[in-house]
Chain A
Amino acid sequence: MQHMAQLSLGQEQSQGAAVEVRGLGHIYAGRDGAVPALTDIDLNVPAGRFVVIVGPSGCGKTSLLMMLAGLRTQTSGTILVDGRSIATPDPSRVGVVFQEASLYPWLTAVENVEFPLVLKNAPRDERRARAEAMLNLVGLSGFGGRYPHELSGGMKQRVSIARGLVQDPPVLLMDEPFAALDEQTRMTMGHELLRIWSQTSKTVVFITHSLTEAVYLADEVIVMSARPGRILDRVPIDLPRPRTYQMMATDVFGALRERIWHQIRDVP
């Protein structure tokens, strides 16, 4: 009986959650011995959700994202992506969009987008068509032949997003993708990202320092503490979709932002 219960519980979790983290901890070997970076991280991101992680610098947000991407191995706990554990990078399940300047400057925009498919030895015509379709999705059709230095900061991040989506992974991880952009471009890109997200129905885990960006984008904001990183709060954002810039001026938006800010600012 107990066995059955466990089994059904397991099924339920793997069906509902695109990303599931249980009891995750990470300790790294620092100069003065072992430094705990992350403790007791539990995270359940249902498929199609947009989850934003905020927290002070050095709280281990990026480490967590690296582990979700299979680029770093946790010390303890389990990570399931799309129902299966992830130990090494698996681009068919997870696409990653990094901070600025992660495009290859010697490749054109379309070559950057098709790069993951080149690694898979996909046929040229097929990967080119797929990359062009992705550029189209992010609003860059006609810019495929440009080199990164010929593109603006916002356009570069559009290319990065297209590259993250090119293998059609169910989960997209984004590590402060718009941090280097000016405020206006950043707002536009946030809006564009929501459009792309609603068209592709991906599960997104997004890291940012900007609380406004967090509330504007998220279904749920995860607030993390300073080192060792723990989850302090999970703030559901029940603002209606599609989100509009006007919502930022509402009391509800302000109250949500305030609730997050209160928890982060107390951290020394």
Chain B
Amino acid sequence: MSTAAVILIRIALLAAFLGAWEFLPRTGIVNPMLLPPLSLVIETLGDILGRGDFREAMLVTTAEVLVAFIIAVPLGGAIGVLAAEHAYFGAIFRPMLFYVFSIPKSIFLPMFILAFGIGFEQKVAYATFSTIFIVIMSASAAVESVKADYVLVAQSYGATRAQILRRIYIPSMMPILLETLRISMIFNFTGVMIAEMYASRTGVGHMIANWGENFMLPQLFAGVVVLAVAAMSFNELVRYMEARCSTWRS
């Protein structure tokens, strides 16, 4: 199938989806209380974007997501590299890390509330916790993807340790590292949302949970649209960088 045909079909499906969203509640086939029509959601979206409290909530959520990301990615990356490179550290901690990785992180949320309260710190701590394991796993995999031969060749040409790191490790790991950024943002964002919806006084997650409880479905869907756009934008940005860095991948 040609690329043009694929794109056309995608557009058609999107149009059908959006059309159904508008048409089904309007005709009463789907209960409009549960699924408000698209036009109403867009109208509400305009309203809430203009509201001071929603903007503030967006700022809080963005800050939580960014701070957790800035903590979890370098920290998890360092632990992951250590686990892959350092024989003893790896032997001791890798099994434990794998076990903990398999546990759903949300069951620890009550502990985080007891330890950190329901404010900013708790959101950051919980999101960091729910993100860091995937970063550790991915960073380990990235280090292991560097073939020993690559290093040997560089050594035979007299490369220093710093040169091996910069010229071999970094470019060799780059595709997996970017993939890690992308996936860790998904975990991170999910962590902040769960924490905000579970117990919070502010944040977009908190507002969405509130709207849901109060049956304010147009607002809820507008909030969902905002979050979806934010998440997809970040995802696409990293994917664009990935594509640029991985031309050499066959």
A joins B in a complex: yes
Which residues of A line the B interface, CB within 8 A?
A: 69-71, 88-91, 94, 96, 98, 101-102, 104-107, 115-116, 118-120, 147-149, 167
Select A98's contact among B152, B163, B171, B172, beta carbons within 8 Å.
B152
A108 to chain B, nearest CB (A): 8
Query: Are A91's CB and B248's CB within 8 A?
Result: no
Query: Contact at A90–B158, with CB atoms within 8 Å?
Result: yes
Complexed CA–CA distance, A149 and B163 (Å) = 24
Indicate if the CB atoms of B158 and A91 lie closer than 8 Å.
yes
Is B156 touching A119 in the complex (CB atoms < 8 A)?
no
Question: B171: nearest residue on chain A (CB-CB)?
Answer: A106
For B142-170 the 0/1 string (1 means CB < 8 A from A) is 00000101101111111100010001100
* B149 with A101: CB separation less than 8 A: yes
Complex Cα–Cα for A35 and B248 (A): 41
Q: Which residues of B contact A120 (CB under 8 A)?
A: 158
Contact indicator B154/A102 (Cβ below 8 Å): no
What is the bound-complex CA distance between A69 and B153, given in angstroms?
Answer: 11
| Residue B86 interfacial (CB < 8 Å) | no
Query: Would you call B167 and A118 a contact (CB within 8 A)?
Result: yes
Whether the Cβ atoms of A104 and B158 lie closer than 8 Å is no
9 intermolecular pairs with C-beta atoms under 8 Å apart: A71-B156, A89-B156, A89-B158, A98-B149, A102-B149, A102-B150, A106-B171, A115-B167, A149-B250
A96, B156: Cβ atoms closer than 8 Å? yes
Task: Report the Cα distance A104→B163, complex, angstroms.
Answer: 14
Provide the residues of chain B in CB contact with A101, threshold 8 Å: 147, 149
B214 touches A (CB below 8 Å): no
Given A104-B150, A147-B247, A147-B248, decide whether A89 and B157 contact each other with a Cβ distance below 8 A. Answer: yes
Instruction: Write out the residue numbers on chain A whose beta carbons fall within 8 Å of the beta carbon of B250.
Output: 105, 147, 149
> How far, in whole Å, are A105 and B174 apart by their CA atoms in the complex?
12
A88 to B157, CA, bound (A): 10
Let me know if B156 and A69 touch, CB within 8 A: yes
Give the Cβ gap from A13 to chain B, nearest Cβ, in Å.
Answer: 25
Which of A91, A107, A147, A149 contacts B157, CB < 8 Å? Answer: A91
Residue in A89, A90, A102, A105 whose CB lies within 8 Å of B248 = A105
Which residues in A have their C-beta under 8 angstroms from that of B51?
none
Over the window 222-250 of chain B, the binary record of Cβ atoms lying under 8 Å from chain A Cβ atoms (1 yes, 0 no) is: 00000000000000000000000001111
| B157-A106 in contact (CB<8A) | no
- Give A102 to B147 CA distance when docked, in angstroms: 9
Q: How far is the CA of A107 from the CA of B205 in the complex (A)?
A: 45
Q: Which residues of B contact A106 (CB under 8 A)?
A: 171-172, 174, 248
Q: Give A236 to B247 CA distance when docked, in angstroms.
A: 48
Asked if B167 and A98 sit within 8 Å, CB to CB, the answer is no
Q: Are A89 and B149 in contact (CB under 8 A)?
A: no
- Taking the nearest CB of chain A, how far is it from the CB of B80, in angstroms? 21
B residues in contact with A71, CB < 8 Å: 152, 155-156
Tell me the bound Cα distance from A90 to B147 in angstroms: 22
Instruction: Give the complex CA separation of A148 and B249 in angstroms.
Output: 10
Q: How far is the CA of A260 from the CA of B53 in the complex (A)?
A: 86
Q: How close is A191's CB to chain B, nearest CB, in angstroms?
A: 25
A206 to B147: give the CA distance in the assembly, Å: 23
Q: Are A119 and B152 in contact (CB under 8 A)?
A: no
User: Is the CB–CB distance between A104 and B247 below 8 Å?
Assistant: no
Establish whether residues B150 and A119, one from each chain, have CB atoms under 8 Å apart when the complex forms. Answer: no
In the complex, the answer to whether A98 meets B153 with C-beta atoms within 8 Å is: yes
Q: A115 contacts B149, CB within 8 Å?
A: no
Contact A119 B159 (CB under 8 A): yes
- Name B153's closest neighbour in chain A (CB-CB): A102
How far apart are A154's CB and chain B's nearest CB, in angstroms? 17
Output the nearest chain A residue to B156 by Cβ-Cβ distance. A96
- Residue of B whose beta carbon sits closest to that of A104: B150
Q: How far is the CA of A119 from the CA of B156 in the complex (A)?
A: 11
Q: Which residue of A lies closest to B149 (CB)?
A: A102
Chain A residues contacting B163 (CB-CB under 8 Å) are 119
Could you tell me the distance between the alpha carbons of A70 and B193 in the complex, rounded to whole angstroms? 56
Interface centre among B150, B157, B163, B248 (most CB of A within 10 A): B157
Give Cα A91–Cα B3 distance, bound, in whole angstroms: 49
Contact in complex: A149, B248 (CB < 8 Å): yes
Chain B residues within an 8 Å CB radius of A70: 156
* Bound Cα distance A29, B156 (Å): 23
Extra contacts besides A98-B152, A115-B154 (7): CB < 8 Å: A89-B155, A102-B152, A104-B150, A104-B168, A106-B171, A107-B248, A115-B167
What residues of chain B lie closer than 8 Å to A91, measured between beta carbons?
156-158
A100 nearest CB neighbor, chain B only: B149
- Shortest beta-carbon distance from A169 to chain B in Å: 10
Shortest B202–chain A CB gap in Å is 44
CB pair A119–B149 under 8 Å, yes or no, is no
| Contact present for B157 and A116 (CB under 8 Å) | yes
A98 vs B154: C-alpha distance when bound (angstroms): 11
